[in-house]
Amino acid sequence: MPNPYFKFKRFTVYHDLCAMKVGTDGVLLGAWINVTEAEKALDIGTGTGLITLMLAQRKDKLHIDAIDIDHNAMEQAKENIKHSPFSDQIQAFESSLQHFRESRQQYDLIVSNPPFFIQSLKSPHKERTLARHTDSLSLEELLEISAVLLTSKGKLSIIYPSEHKETLFSLSKKLELYPSRITNVYPTPVSLPKRILIEFSKTELPLIENNLIIEKERHVYSDEFTELVQDFYLKM
């Protein structure tokens, strides 16, 4: 039977009620995001609350709102947040992004590990389909609403499949969101990039781009990946 939780160095994430379990994508994004100048953040589609908790660990005065449309995920996220050392920094809301935009709150940091399965076979489980597919939140809606909720100097950070990079850039350009930082994620030194970590700004800034290899060989993490996530994973 799969373990119902994933234990990190400073918090534990239960994920047995969530469609999407703790995975490398979320950990990568949570560790990669630049939180230096952020004071108020929004985590869109928080799921288990993983990225929210990682951000709270990284900056003790950062206030974070976390939203998710799935009831079970939100209930589990609230429990994970409640039992963490960071509960006073976080508020969690069961809400779609489309509804949440009506609050017109402003954030200097917005983050999301968004749904990106567009035409793939859907799961028979409604919650997993909701979490994995763009039916409930398209990429264009994510970018457009984020642009509305960001402050003038705010940043949007997401992780997305590398194969859809051009679509992502095309949409963001129309919405006047400009890439300011990019990391291309390679599973191994000989593989093609699988994910792109990208930070958008509302003003054009000099682009910083680099690459990240996860494993230099089977079950042996690269030095750069280890450095990125070592504050979180127990055995690093």
Of 114-123, 147-156, 171-180, 200-209, the poorest mean pLDDT is in 114-123
Report the pLDDT value the prediction gives residue 135, as an integer from 0 to 100. 62
- Judge whether residue 69 has pLDDT over 90: yes
Report the pLDDT value the prediction gives residue 115, as an integer from 0 to 100. 78
Distances (CA, A) of 137 to 109, 199, 208: 19, 19, 28
Residue 165: how many other CB atoms lie within 10 Å: 17
Report the pLDDT value the prediction gives residue 1, as an integer from 0 to 100. 59
Helix (H/G/I), strand (E/B), else coil: 220: strand
Q: What is the pTM of this model?
A: 0.91
pLDDT in tens, 54-67: 999 999 999 999 99
pLDDT in tens, 77-91: 999 999 999 999 999
Helices and strands, counts by H and E, the chain: 8, 12
The torsion region of residue 159 among left (phi > 0), alpha (psi -120 to 50) and beta comes to: beta
How much of the chain, in percent, has pLDDT values that exceed 70? 92
Q: How far apart are CA 4 and CA 22, in angstroms?
A: 10
pLDDT in tens, 4-39: 999 999 999 999 988 888 999 999 999 999 999 999
